[in-house]
Amino acid sequence: MTENEIDQLKPLLKEYVEKSSAVTELHWDKTSSSKLLFDPYSSTEKEKTAHYFLLISALDTAELVGTSEKARAFMVSAHSALGNGLFIPGQKNRIQKIAEEFNTYYPLGPGKYRIPQVLESINLFVDKTANGSLVKFAQRFSDPECLVKEIATEIPQMGGVHIDHAWMYLRWMVRPYPDLGVFQNISAKKLKIPLTSFVRNVAYCLGLCKNPVPDWSHPEEIESERANVTEFANHLFPEDPAVIDYPFYVLGRWIRDEKLSFSVLKSHLQFWKKINGQLNRPIITFDVVARNESTFEKNVREELNKLKLIFLFEPYPLSLPKESPAPHYKPDFVLPRVRRKGHIVLLEPHGIWTPLEKRIVSYGRERFPMWVTPSQIYPEETEFVDKLRFFRQSYKDLYYLILIVPSSFKERVEKDYPDIFDEIYDGADIPKLLYELKKSMD
């Protein structure tokens, strides 16, 4: 991309950040199903807030927990079980048991066995180095970079390739609402932008990073990229450059696994502008996923894996219009690199429909059974259909929805609900469908 193209995109990008800047960070969003046990905005809870979110900032890696939603849910579980013991050294065995139990419901990352030691190292840092007060400890530093270096040196999980989590923590602690504004002695103007993976997706599309995949083993190169992103943010928001961090995180997570490019970023920003005007609320939210896959969904997953098609399973809930009976729609499978008519393909395998009714019809003296459309539709079917209908009304310009249903229901669904899908397939045709999608990419 050229400098002229970037300059043309800046107003759209700036509008996106400004209108997203009031969105609450998912780690303390009050609408989450995993409720915090304290108010992080309370003036009397500053020490607990600083300590609690230092624990989360170290925990929130794919290696340890997988997703940020799981980091939040795990911390709520641990806090519920341990109370204020969560903040005291010497809890490794209890935290290990909590992690094992949690993992049975929400699979954690491959490094989950390290969670107790990571949390222990932070509690020791707060207890010994910070003398029990992170707020007073932070007051020793007017330069946030010095504080970041101190945290990175003392807490292994916050240094080296994870140093951007220390910058993320400072954004939480320094910026005012909707961030937490605990460390008031540090100016937000001096913050650097955390170069976390999803933020970096956006930075790469803007030409601020050389390669789509970062090489974390070269800290000098990463530091150069972080400086580029921070300089770019300073041009847009000189008084508060870190305001871009969470909006970029959401945007970068939205476009992950697509073929990252300037045009992909631009198309998503243009779509966001259009939909935001209709919904007037965040398009994407995040919460813990807690349900087992259906047999239908497992079949789709197996076939996707066989063909080595990149997919995301229930990656995020997409907001629906206020008149919709459901606030969100969460696609089952997103195929970020597959396009139909220029739109991203979604697969929605759904096997629960109202059964056909058996009726007896007479023909002369003979009586025959006949399966007909049910006279009364299950409420669950109506709710699902309405959700798809509202979703397509808002998102059809970006997503292409392929509905997959059992063969016994395909004819009725196709006839009764032609407006809830772009294409409809029989469940028996899953291998053929996915092969055609794969072939269209080659």
pLDDT of 332 reads: 95
Helix, coil or strand: residue 346: strand
Extract the tokens encoding 74: 């795990």
Confidence of residue 218 (pLDDT cuts 50, 70, 90): confident
Distance between CA 29 and CA 187 in Å, rounded? 24
Q: How many whole angstroms from its chain centre is CA 25?
A: 11
Distance between CA 125 and CA 342 in Å, rounded? 52
The structure's pTM equals: 0.92
pLDDT of 370 > 80? The answer is no
Helix, coil or strand: residue 38: coil
pLDDT of 368 reads: 66
Question: What is the helix (H) or strand (E) element at residue 42, kind and residue range?
Answer: none
Domains of the chain: 32-191 (1.10.340), 295-441 (3.40.1350)
- Whose CA is closest to 299, among 381, 384, 401, 404? 404
**Interval 201-214: pLDDT, tens:** 999 999 999 888 88
Percent of the chain scoring above 70 in pLDDT = 96
Q: What are phi and psi of 328, to 5 degrees?
A: -140, 160
β partners of residue 400: 345
- Whose CA is closest to 277, among 12, 26, 31, 7? 12
Residue of 370 and 79 predicted with greater confidence: 79
pLDDT of 165 reads: 97
pLDDT of 32 > 70? The answer is yes
Residue of 215 and 426 predicted with greater confidence: 426
Dihedral sign, Cα of residue 198, residue 205, residue 301, residue 424: positive
User: DSSP for 367-432?
Assistant: EEEEEE--SS--HHHHHHHHHHHHHHHHHTTTEEEEEEE-HHHHHHHHHH-TTS-SEEEEGGGHHH
Distance between CA 246 and CA 20 in Å, rounded? 8
Question: What is the helix (H) or strand (E) element at residue 340, kind and residue range?
Answer: strand 333-340
Q: What are phi and psi of 133, to 5 degrees?
A: -135, 105
pLDDT of 303 > 70? The answer is yes
Confidence of residue 190 (pLDDT cuts 50, 70, 90): very high
Residue of 183 and 362 predicted with greater confidence: 183
Instruction: Tell me the CA distances in angstroms from 1 to 14, 105, 316, 363, one per residue in order.
Output: 18, 44, 29, 72
pLDDT of 287 reads: 86
Confidence of residue 360 (pLDDT cuts 50, 70, 90): low
pLDDT of 429 > 90? The answer is yes
CA count, 13 A, side-chain hemisphere, 177: 4
As a whole number, mean pLDDT of residues 389-413 equals: 95
Dihedral sign, Cα of residue 265, residue 270, residue 274, residue 276: positive
Percent of the chain scoring above 90 in pLDDT = 83
Distance between CA 246 and CA 242 in Å, rounded? 8
What average pLDDT is seen over the chain? 93
Confidence of residue 363 (pLDDT cuts 50, 70, 90): low
Residue of 3 and 221 predicted with greater confidence: 221
Q: How many residues are given for the chain?
A: 442
Distance between CA 180 and CA 388 in Å, rounded? 37
Cis peptide leading into residue 331 (ω within 30°)? no
Distance between CA 195 and CA 191 in Å, rounded? 12
